[in-house]
Structure 1
């Protein structure tokens, strides 16, 4: 256990290091530097040094590639002892255009005892390096004059339009009376060399038309020397009177053959001539040793210049290694359900704390389910204490329920409550109860409080997924699509994965949780129904209730029990009945039991469709009388798509009602197609075809009624509590085994 904890700490520290290093990279790219327009000051320094001089020497290097071991340690000391007045990079001074590479290069070049200038090459352009080059040095193409000598720098990487540069170059050369003219290009424009190193055939300038136009201008204006890099070799050739020098040995990887070696180029300028000669520092003895040295230099440079990136790579590799070790070498039990010894917790009294955002007197499927589970567990000898909001007329706590002060209530009757999560009463109750296990029924507010207390006092926590959160987007002050498609699923996944166990009512709900990334242990257990309460004849008889509602005794009655909210899709029932009247001669009446924010809208809808005599909104009905409404009806209809189970369906089945509902995740497992009812797509025509079948076929309706009773009998509250109790035992055994 201790070793596992140490590995976990190591894993977290590595993750933190990666975050820190990535943050550093972001800082490098956003922070301002004091390096700006360096070329201007360097050109001024060159002009100052060579004022009035007709003879001087300068050095050209190519492919420095941020080289520390070659260029910095071996070339710079040699150059500082030379007669060179300044240095020019013919391209690829950096290994790529990342900010840290530019900063490292500038620090390296500042060790030179002479001014320096850079040609804009392929590496300078990579990794969004163009704007960094412009910020640190200036434009990628420019020119300057020293006495009777002109130096022209071009950008042939494609970052700057060629038409513009060609016109500018023509004007510069036409207007110039300089005796010597030097041009610098990052990529070679001459034809491919026969001795081009392997794998570098694509390192030439690839626009033949522009290359020819450049060559024509250079020949026309008698340019003396054209320098370029991008190839790991030294080449000196004259084409149509234009002398092309290719140099790429100042630090990059070389193959060390006859033409590829570490070198720099000395250029001696006098009044009469310009001479060029490569200089090969003594770096190592043998050919293979030179190649190995260049490769090692590239590796060393990567670590030296990009140490932060190196640490990121190492840290990522460590994390991957730790994960692979866990996957490959650590034995894991994929069948933990069968290896848990829960004998110490099975059928033994437990102290359980429920946390819920709503409870009685507010009536809903969730509050009824919570109450049934609490009573079922108490009947099995457990101590269940409920922590819930207070309501008007229900503010006092008692031995089985602590009422938390409500800060804000919303909904048509204030049924949705936001409580004070910091109320001392919660902490006091929790410490007094000393629960063995916490069971929360919502993934936020009091549910989050329950999660915090469970973690704080080291007891396992279980969450029941009662509600499809995404279907309640219209209640949340956020863009509906954002909450429905992203936020709601993230909330559920994050909360579930913090719990030791999750209870879901159907297998389709379990599938959803797995799809969104829930990894916690899941128990599939439908909410229990008090079977005998709904199956036994109610004191409010069908005859009396029909008389009370003004319904003829022989009238076929449909009933639906649902809160009148948008997510319950009650409008579908109204529109379906309006369409049904045109499809069957059998007149039916629909009684909708429930209250909610959409009542006014639904009343108007009933009026618009002329169904005042066919549909009744009877409002809220006391829980004691709900069985009477089921027993009065012949068929139960349901259109909600926001359920995780649809507990009212089991209640209706207990009363012997076949069901016609819209198919959804929570409904799919609650109805056995063609045996206890029908489930269809969200299509009025399809839905009505199944409803019409039950209305017109008395024999089928009676058959499904009997089968519905037998199906509901299997979901009695006692069985519900027994199975949840068993799950409690498994979670407790697993929790205490892993923490020991």
Structure 2
């Protein structure tokens, strides 16, 4: 069988970020070929991303960079390419332009179509773009709201939400069949991992793209009142500002920046920490929270403005106000109380067992099998 994937970014970007997860695009190895439709200036050799397709053969079809008017000008090219591939299923990982093209081709060629949602574009992206005066991003996102999102979501034979928070958004935009399948994190990798770092003090870990909405500056400020190291993994437009902030506050020696860690090594970094913290403003459950649960770390997460009861977090740690003072207080409490850390860590592993990667992989494979 053949799967055609619109991944939402170039495969080169995923490779450079270290985000190559085993069988991510080929659950239970049910496909023989996986074809990626990308829109990049330059792509990577398919062999370098072999891990994400498991036993399948990977192909990358790079159709060149997108512009807003590509919505109308690239449709014929996309359709022609997918006709050549002749896939059994089409999958998109965003309802933006990539999702629109996937839905358009699926409809024209009568091919089963699955789309996944990794956020609520109304209550996450557009809300914060407007609130934080990011007018360019808000205009681009509003363009997608008007021209791509409803069409992509309502056209899908199955909508997969990466957590419960986007379910409401999916249904408001016409989703017919909605399934929640959490991001795949595998117990085996964390069970076998050894600490990747040798540190002279206990550590707090935070993993995520360095953007204003993920708010890592809050943790750096919290470190003024925490006697520990902060392992900060991620890259993005805020990197320079965060490095400068750590220097300005006099905590530069406490903060360890890692722009990228390969996915196969990430478990060792979690194992180097005692606490996981995430001051994210978005709703839902981020992949790093699931990874922290797999590692048996207690979690301290901010209460999102539009999702006051984030999944799992209150059961395996603390949900707090998104301030440096609140983070410092709970981090210090956990660092001082080993029994509390162990208790919450056990709860995290128990909760993680319910959504472990192999279970989610089987659930995703079942979606495909039902469609073909």
Q: Classify the TM-score, shorter chain.
A: 0.7 to 0.9
- Asked whether 1:686 is paired with 2:344, we answer no
* Pair 1:494–1:572, CA change in 2 (3 A): farther
- Asked whether 1:402 is paired with 2:56, we answer no
Map 1:383-402 onto structure 2 (within 5 A). 383-389=33-39, 394-395=44-45, 399-402=57-60
* Correspondent of 1:471 among 125, 149, 157: 125
What's 1:492 paired with? 149
Q: Does the 8 Å CA contact 1:525/1:724 hold for their aligned counterparts?
A: yes
Task: Tell me how large the CA RMSD over aligned residues is.
Answer: 3.5
* Pair 1:479–1:446, CA change in 2 (3 A): closer
Shift in Å at residue 503 of structure 1?
A: 0.7
Q: Does the 8 Å CA contact 1:465/1:644 hold for their aligned counterparts?
A: no
Map 1:8-27 onto structure 2 (within 5 A). none
* Correspondent of 2:106 among 454, 468, 471: 454
Q: Does the 8 Å CA contact 2:153/2:173 hold for their aligned counterparts?
A: no
What's 2:86 paired with? 434
Q: Does the 8 Å CA contact 2:303/2:319 hold for their aligned counterparts?
A: yes
Map 1:181-330 onto structure 2 (within 5 A). none
Cα distance per residue 1:456-489 (max 9 Å; x no partner) = 11122111012444527489985666667x6565
What's 2:180 paired with? 524
Shift in Å at residue 607 of structure 1?
A: 1.7
Q: Does the 8 Å CA contact 1:373/1:717 hold for their aligned counterparts?
A: no
Shift in Å at residue 428 of structure 1?
A: 5.7
- Asked whether 1:352 is paired with 2:3, we answer yes
Q: Which runs of 5+ in 2 are unaligned?
A: 51-56
What's 1:503 paired with? 160
Q: Does the 8 Å CA contact 2:39/2:62 hold for their aligned counterparts?
A: yes
Map 1:102-113 onto structure 2 (within 5 A). none
Q: What is the alpha-carbon distance in structure 2 between the residues aligned to residue 638 and residue 668 of structure 1?
A: 15
Q: What is the alpha-carbon distance in structure 2 between the residues aligned to residue 593 and residue 465 of structure 1?
A: 24
* Pair 1:667–1:658, CA change in 2 (3 A): farther
Q: What is the alpha-carbon distance in structure 1 between the residues aligned to residue 42 and residue 272 of structure 2?
A: 32
Map 1:313-712 onto structure 2 (within 5 A). 350-363=1-14, 368=19, 372-378=23-29, 380=30, 383-389=33-39, 394-395=44-45, 399-407=57-65, 421=74, 427=79, 429-469=81-121, 470-471=124-125, 473=129, 478=135, 490=146, 491-514=148-171, 516-538=172-194, 541-542=195-196, 545-546=197-198, 551-552=199-200, 555-578=201-224, 580-581=225-226, 587-642=227-282, 644-664=284-304, 668-673=309-314, 675-712=315-352
Secondary structure of 1:464's partner? strand
The TM-score normalised by the length of structure 1 is: 0.43
Shift in Å at residue 663 of structure 1?
A: 2.5
What's 1:124 paired with? none
The TM-score normalised by the length of structure 2 is: 0.81
* Pair 1:508–1:408, CA change in 2 (3 A): closer
Q: Does the 8 Å CA contact 1:359/1:367 hold for their aligned counterparts?
A: no
Q: Which runs of 5+ in 1 are unaligned?
A: 1-349, 410-417, 582-586, 734-740
* Pair 1:577–1:629, CA change in 2 (3 A): same
What's 2:53 paired with? none
Q: What is the alpha-carbon distance in structure 2 between the residues aligned to residue 510 and residue 609 of structure 1?
A: 40
Shift in Å at residue 722 of structure 1?
A: 1.4
Cα distance per residue 1:85-122 (max 9 Å; x no partner) = xxxxxxxxxxxxxxxxxxxxxxxxxxxxxxxxxxxxxx
Q: What is the alpha-carbon distance in structure 2 between the residues aligned to residue 621 and residue 386 of structure 1?
A: 24
* Pair 1:385–1:643, CA change in 2 (3 A): farther
* Pair 1:406–1:569, CA change in 2 (3 A): farther
Shift in Å at residue 643 of structure 1?
A: 5.7
Shift in Å at residue 634 of structure 1?
A: 0.8
Shift in Å at residue 383 of structure 1?
A: 4.5
Count, aligned residues: 352
Q: Does the 8 Å CA contact 2:233/2:259 hold for their aligned counterparts?
A: yes
Shift in Å at residue 494 of structure 1?
A: 4.2
Cα distance per residue 1:354-405 (max 9 Å; x no partner) = 11222544249x9948864324241x45644332345757156894222314
What's 1:175 paired with? none
* Pair 1:430–1:480, CA change in 2 (3 A): closer
Q: What is the alpha-carbon distance in structure 2 between the residues aligned to residue 608 and residue 577 of structure 1?
A: 12
What's 1:716 paired with? 356
Q: What is the alpha-carbon distance in structure 1 between the residues aligned to residue 175 and residue 39 of structure 2?
A: 30
* Pair 1:666–1:449, CA change in 2 (3 A): farther
Q: What is the alpha-carbon distance in structure 2 between the residues aligned to residue 360 and residue 668 of structure 1?
A: 34
Shift in Å at residue 590 of structure 1?
A: 0.5
Cα distance per residue 1:551-605 (max 9 Å; x no partner) = 31xx110011111122221112112223x34xxxxx1110101111111111121
Q: What is the alpha-carbon distance in structure 2 between the residues aligned to residue 476 and residue 462 of structure 1?
A: 33
Q: Does the 8 Å CA contact 2:299/2:313 hold for their aligned counterparts?
A: no
Cα distance per residue 1:8-54 (max 9 Å; x no partner) = xxxxxxxxxxxxxxxxxxxxxxxxxxxxxxxxxxxxxxxxxxxxxxx
Secondary structure of 2:253's partner? coil
* Pair 1:377–1:352, CA change in 2 (3 A): farther
Q: Does the 8 Å CA contact 1:360/1:367 hold for their aligned counterparts?
A: no
Q: What is the alpha-carbon distance in structure 2 between the residues aligned to residue 358 and residue 480 of structure 1?
A: 16
Q: What is the alpha-carbon distance in structure 2 between the residues aligned to residue 710 and residue 558 of structure 1?
A: 21
Secondary structure of 1:407's partner? coil
Shift in Å at residue 728 of structure 1?
A: 3.2
* Pair 1:615–1:388, CA change in 2 (3 A): same
* Pair 1:575–1:518, CA change in 2 (3 A): farther
